[in-house]
Amino acid sequence: MLQNATVKSVVKRLPIYLDYLLDVMKNDSNVKYISSKKISDDLSLGEVQVRKDLSAICGNGKPKLGYNIEKLTNTIEQYLGCNHIKKAVLIGVGKLGSAIIAFDEFKKYGIEIIAGFDIKESGNVTDIPVHLFNKQNLKKIFDQNEVNIGIICVPKQAAQDVCNTLVELGVDIIWNFAPMILKVPKNVLVQNENLAYSLSIVSSVINNNSKN
């Protein structure tokens, strides 16, 4: 069922479907089936695209009825690994770092931040301990836990160093908020959250609109 070949463009839409389906079920727990037409209308997507996306990950739609909404939800959650707990550490507990730690949506995808690290030790942020950042302290946590994810919220000057340390300790994926491109070995994946790049789009859109 979980074909690795499922393309990136489809995976990117899965959380959109998931949010939508959860919402539909919350609003009316009697709905058992939902059609691709309704989904596509509500989400402003192409009808065929929805059908093709869904058939790529489950393909248990019933002609005349649509998709069993509960089954579909479960399939998407399974595909996204929502029920498989993954542990993360976050480095750089400044304003952004604390905001991320407090971010509500981690549980939804089965991700748990088990510790924060900062060059200033600073107690707790909403239950999660913040340790002094150094290799020994970090290693201790990695020895006691299987840590999959490293979240980088340090200033960009420090980001590559922090990244190297995380890679050395064995994270699989880095969620990077530092506005720069990190160098990592091929087996590590970097998911960039480059706010500056988004900002550049905001800026260019206004710039070019006002030229019209």
Partner DNA sequence: TAGATTGTTAATCGATTAACAATC
List of residues contacting DNA (CB under 7 A): 7-10, 35-37, 45-46, 48-49, 51-52, 54-55, 59-67
Backbone φ and ψ of 35, nearest 5°: -95, 160
Least separation in angstroms between residue 61's CB and its own copies is 22
Q: Which residue, 2 or 63, has its beta carbon nearer to its own copies?
A: 2
Token pair for 189: 């994946």
Q: Which stretch binds its own copies (CB under 8 A): 46-54, 60-68, 128-136, 194-202?
A: 194-202
Q: For residue 183, what is the DSSP state? A: P
User: Quick one: 79 or 117, whose CB is closer to its own copies?
Assistant: 79
CB of 121: closest distance to its own copies in angstroms? 19
Residue type, 139: K
**Residue pair 175/191 in contact by the 8 Å Cβ criterion:** yes
CA distance 194 to 79: 26
Using CB under 8 A, pick the residue from 115, 149, 154, 184 that binds its own copies: 149
Query: Nearest 5°: phi and psi at 38?
Result: -65, -45
Asked if 182 and 164 touch (Cβ cutoff 8 Å), the reply is no
Which residue from 59, 40, 58, 41 is spatially nearest to 50, judged by alpha carbons?
A: 40
Q: Which stretch binds its own copies (CB under 8 A): 12-20, 28-36, 114-122, 135-143?
A: 12-20
119: exposed, middle or buried (C-beta count within 10 Å: 0-12, 13-18, 19+)? middle
Residue 189 backbone phi and psi in degrees, to 5: -110, 140
Does 145 interact with its own copies (rule: CB under 8 A)?
no
Return the residues of window 71-130 that contact its own copies according to CB under 8 A: 79-82, 84, 86, 94-96, 98-100, 102-106, 108-111
Smallest gap from residue 112 Cβ to DNA (A) = 30
Binding site for its own copies (CB under 8 A): 2, 4, 11-12, 14-16, 18-19, 43, 79-82, 84, 86, 94-96, 98-100, 102-106, 108-111, 148-149, 172-173, 175, 179-181, 189, 191, 193, 195-209, 211-212
